[in-house]
Amino acid sequence: MKFCSTCGHTVSLKTPEQDTIPRYVCDACGVIHYENPKIVVGCVPEHEGKILLCKRAIEPRYGYWTVPAGFMENEETLQEGAARETLEEALAEVEIGEMFAVVDVVRARQVHVMFRARLIGDAYGVGYESLETLLFTEDEIPWDDIAFPSVRFALETWLEDRRLGRTGLLHMTTFRRPRP
């Protein structure tokens, strides 16, 4: 950030009074521009025991596999965001279930929130952010080509829950390393 989005003047990094963190403050109008972590919302879409994954057609991690997920938008709930991302990336309608994984991706300034989900019907396709989408059995999951640690965490905990017949558990973890 170099300029004030309110008045167009330059900004400087300074710690406002009663604050402890440096913020971009406008040199002219004094508006403080706060920057905060963003929410990435996604789901593990299940259909007849298989999981729907998307091969990314965008950077970062072009060509790697992910569950449907993306930045939560204003005016939507977490569940609506997860369903929207699935529709966009995999052209699939899902019924969103419980939240089961939360990952703090500290270095990326993101919190990833993952839901269980079920395909409604059996239609799916390839959204413009995907190169390919496919239903995988547990044995077929391309572990060496998973896009992000948070996706791996979501898949591993989801599969462990299923193996143990477990629901209702919220898995939380923190990644402080930069993403691969």
DSSP H or E stretch at residue 54: strand 50-56
Residue 128 makes contact with its own copies by CB under 8 A: yes
User: How many angstroms separate the CA atoms of 127 and 6, rounded?
Assistant: 36
Residue with tokens 């057609």, as numbered in its chain: 57
Of the candidate spans 44-52, 100-108, 135-143, 154-162, the one that interacts with its own copies by CB under 8 A turns out to be 100-108
Are residues 172 and 157 in contact, defined by beta-carbon separation less than 8 angstroms?
Answer: no
**φ, ψ for residue 58 (rounded to 5)?**
-135, 160
Residue in 28, 32, 120, 172 binding its own copies, rule: CB under 8 A: 172
Residue in 16, 32, 60, 76 binding its own copies, rule: CB under 8 A: 76
The closest of 164, 175, 161, 163 to 98, measured between CA atoms, is: 161
Query: Least Å distance between CB 118 and its own copies?
Result: 18
User: How many angstroms separate the CA atoms of 141 and 135, rounded?
Assistant: 9
Strand partners, 134: 53
How many residues bind its own copies, per CB under 8 A? 42
From residue 1 to residue 40, what is the string marking binding to its own copies with x (rule CB under 8 A)? xxxxxxxxxxx------x--x--x--------xxxxxxx-
Of the candidate spans 46-54, 139-147, 150-158, 164-172, the one that interacts with its own copies by CB under 8 A turns out to be 164-172
User: How many angstroms separate the CA atoms of 152 and 146, rounded?
Assistant: 7
Of the candidate spans 45-53, 59-67, 143-151, 168-176, the one that interacts with its own copies by CB under 8 A turns out to be 168-176
Residue in 53, 102, 114, 151 binding its own copies, rule: CB under 8 A: 102
Query: Least Å distance between CB 172 and its own copies?
Result: 7
- Over the Cα atoms of the chain, what is R_g? 19
Footprint of its own copies on this chain (CB under 8 A)?
A: 1-11, 18, 21, 24, 33-39, 71-78, 98-99, 102, 104, 106, 109, 111, 128, 168-170, 172, 174
